[in-house]
Amino acid sequence: MADTIAINTPEPTVNKLPDALDSLTHTALARVTRGLSPTAGLMAWHDWVIHLAISPGKQRSLFDKALDKQQRFTQYALRATATPHCLNCVEPLEQDRRFADPAWQQWPFNLIHQGFLLQQQWWHNATTGVRGVSRHHEDLVTFAGRQWLDMWSPVNFPWTNPEVLQATARTGGANLWRGAMNFLEDARRHNLDEPPFGTEAFEVGKDVAVTPGKVVYRNRLIELIQYAPTTPKVHATPILIIPSWIMKYYILDLSPHNSMVKYLVDQGHTVFIVSWKNPGYADRNLGMEDYRRLGVMEALDAVTAIVPEQKVDAVGYCLGGTLLSIAAAAMARDGDERLRSLTLLAAGVDFREPGELSLFIDESQLAWLESLMWDKGYLDGEQMAGAFQLLNSNDLIWSRRMREYLLGERQVLFDLMAWNADATRLPFRMHSEYLRRLYLNNDFSEGRYEVDGRPAVPGDIRTPIFAVGTVRDHVTPWRSAYKIHQLSSGSDVSFVLTSGGHNAGVVSEPGRPRRSFQISTRKAGERYTDPQRWRADTPLQEGSWWPSWQKWLSRRSSGRVAPPPMGAKAVGYAQIADAPGTYVMER
């Protein structure tokens, strides 16, 4: 098997002194801002402030709201003085757990947190509904205002946080000393580029990613792992999993109790999974087409060689699902019928509604990201993780820092958190193409995405589809995942909406408490149901969605057979190494 590729798109070059000067300047500035475009922020702020300045009606409405909130706060303060445990004048949002401790109901902290929540409400009113402001700019200004308020929340300061004050009195200040030591330890690890505290308890290949298997194929971009069977007979149809390369593959093979791979193998499936290489400077020119060809198509070639005369159940997670959809569309266009079914786990195909990630995607922001990636040849995983953390800053940034640095309590990591800290890099060309062609231009769903010089269109896909969306997904909102119904009207589509977020909703093993899902199937040619009505009409089921998916897979498999060999040396797919391989170890 060849281990080289041809780069299809020439890398941009800088030939003129003015262009070189611009590139150097933009790169230097992008390093300072960590890839965030100040231009995008200023444009959004100017759009908002100018339109607000010429909207006297909106100004009057905000003035009236300010008076109303001041009156409510004053009345609450008087009631709280007479009746210490009276009802609050404003309640936090359902997902906001910052003020859940009973200590926040004591004076004066009840006044402090109620005043903060009223102010938060007012700023939301101020940044939304201003006539003339573009939707993207409104979202940016609202997001920036929320981040600013979250930073100055009374939870983050010891003198306004009753939980911290109580801990300080109880321990004689030992909590602050432990917090300072935690901060210094985290700073040391960050400066030495070491993994976060607690991740050493989850060693890849020893504690996580331990399902037995063999690497049966390797090229410059992937290792293909085939897992050893655990049943005397297996389903004839093999499964090929394409995870996202934004993450390490073992999100789907964590600990034995919550490994999706182990679950499938124990149910009698022959499972293959792609483990992506963690790219460096030498991989800067790898593009989306290289990922499709080296990642999906060469893995599919290997699976069909090891398990001949069988079609394949293909599974794609997140960005891996997007790439798999592109590959499946190109295969359908070309008459390649090797796929029996598609499973898309929290994967975007239509990017018109990408959720809050769109805050970081416009022409200005992409130009800054490209400048940041230019000299390194890749985007650091730390920067990608930082963007995701900002989308849920209360839980992922401020609450953690308050607990670890002010209360002095170290958060005990579990396997999913340790995996999340195992960041990967993204090649310059691929990341730029992905953001521009899919997120910014939505080329695939609108029929402009070309593979081998011709459009690959999702409407050409005719294989049955099983799609999963998660209720609290900040990366691929479930309504965006639901759009597969519109794009694949010629396919049977089974759609699952499960509790949890982008990762925890997918890693939802049987027996896990407080899990639920909804599922229904739309046959090819049936009328479309909008997502709101679908959710209202589809019964809620308790438990994990995995058994429903496994039954869906097994119904499409052509019986049970003896397990296939591990690899196929005679046709070029010898056993290279034990799972989890070498690429997953690269940092």
Smallest CA-to-CA distance from 411 within 169, 196, 257, 100 is with: 196
CA gap 456, 446 in Å, rounded: 10
β-pairing verdict for 426-427 and 378-379:
antiparallel
For residue 562, count CB atoms less than 10 angstroms from its CB and return exposed for 0-12, middle for 13-18, buried for 19 or more: exposed
β-pairing verdict for 234-235 and 560-561:
antiparallel
Residues facing residue 316 across a β-bridge? 242, 344
Q: What is the DSSP letter of 98?
A: T
Q: What is the DSSP letter of 441?
A: T
| Residue in this structure with the two tokens 């953001």, named with its chain if needed | 435
Helices and strands in the chain, H and E counts? 21, 17
| Residue in this structure with the two tokens 């009195």, named with its chain if needed | 169
β-pairing verdict for 222-227 and 271-276:
antiparallel
Calculate helix-pair angle for 109-127, 56-82, nearest 10 degrees. 170
CA gap 551, 152 in Å, rounded: 50
Residue 172 CB neighbours (<10 A)? 9
Tokens of 297: 């198509």
pLDDT values of the chain reduced to their tens digit, one per residue, 587 residues? 334 333 344 444 445 656 667 767 777 777 777 767 788 889 999 999 999 999 999 999 999 999 999 999 999 999 988 887 888 999 988 778 899 899 999 999 999 999 999 999 999 999 999 999 999 999 999 988 988 999 899 999 999 999 999 999 999 999 999 999 999 998 998 888 888 888 888 999 999 999 999 999 999 999 999 999 999 999 999 999 999 998 899 999 999 999 999 999 999 999 999 999 999 999 999 999 999 999 999 999 999 999 999 999 999 999 999 999 999 999 999 999 999 999 999 999 999 887 777 777 888 888 878 887 877 888 876 666 666 666 666 666 778 888 899 999 988 888 988 898 888 899 999 999 999 999 899 999 999 999 999 999 999 999 999 999 999 988 899 999 999 999 988 889 999 999 999 999 999 999 999 999 999 999 988 899 999 999 999 999 999 999 999 999 998 888 899 999 999 999 999 999 999 999 999 98
Q: Are 176 and 118 in contact (CB under 8 A)?
A: no
Active-site residues, by number, are 318
- What contacts 24+ positions apart, CB below 8 Å, involve 180-184? 180/405, 182/404, 182/405, 182/408, 182/410, 183/404, 183/405
Residues facing residue 317 across a β-bridge? 345
Instruction: Write down the domain spans for the chain.
Output: 38-149, 211-310+558-587, 339-352+442-551
Q: Are 470 and 346 in contact (CB under 8 A)?
A: yes
pTM above 0.85, yes or no: yes
Handedness of CA 555, 561, 563, 569 (dihedral sign): negative
CA gap 534, 508 in Å, rounded: 22
Task: Give the up-direction half-sphere exposure of residue 346: CA atoms within 13 A in the CB hemisphere.
Answer: 24
Smallest CA-to-CA distance from 290 within 304, 303, 271, 276 is with: 276
Calculate helix-pair angle for 162-171, 174-191, nearest 10 degrees. 110
Smallest CA-to-CA distance from 497 within 514, 483, 481 is with: 481
CA gap 229, 212 in Å, rounded: 9
Give Cα separations from 410 to 103, 196, 405, 495 (angstroms). 21, 12, 9, 39
Tokens of 150: 């979250």
Q: What is the DSSP letter of 225?
A: E
Q: Looking at this protein, which amino acid is placed at residue 570?
A: A
Smallest CA-to-CA distance from 417 within 394, 403, 396 is with: 396
CA gap 489, 258 in Å, rounded: 34
Instruction: Give me the phi and psi of 459, to 5 degrees please.
Output: -65, -15
Q: Looking at this protein, which amino acid is placed at residue 126?
A: A
For residue 344, count CB atoms less than 10 angstroms from its CB and return exposed for 0-12, middle for 13-18, buried for 19 or more: buried
Q: Which residues contact 464 (CB under 8 A, 6 or more apart)?
A: 340, 341, 342, 491, 492, 493, 494, 556
* Element (DSSP H or E) covering residue 494: strand 493-498
Smallest CA-to-CA distance from 107 within 129, 79, 130 is with: 79
CA gap 279, 424 in Å, rounded: 8
CA gap 87, 76 in Å, rounded: 8
Strands of the sheet containing 577-578, edge to edge, are 540-542, 516-522, 493-498, 465-470, 339-345, 312-317, 239-242, 271-276, 222-227, 213-218, 577-578
Handedness of CA 26, 30, 36, 42 (dihedral sign): negative
Instruction: Give me the phi and psi of 470, to 5 degrees please.
Output: -120, 145
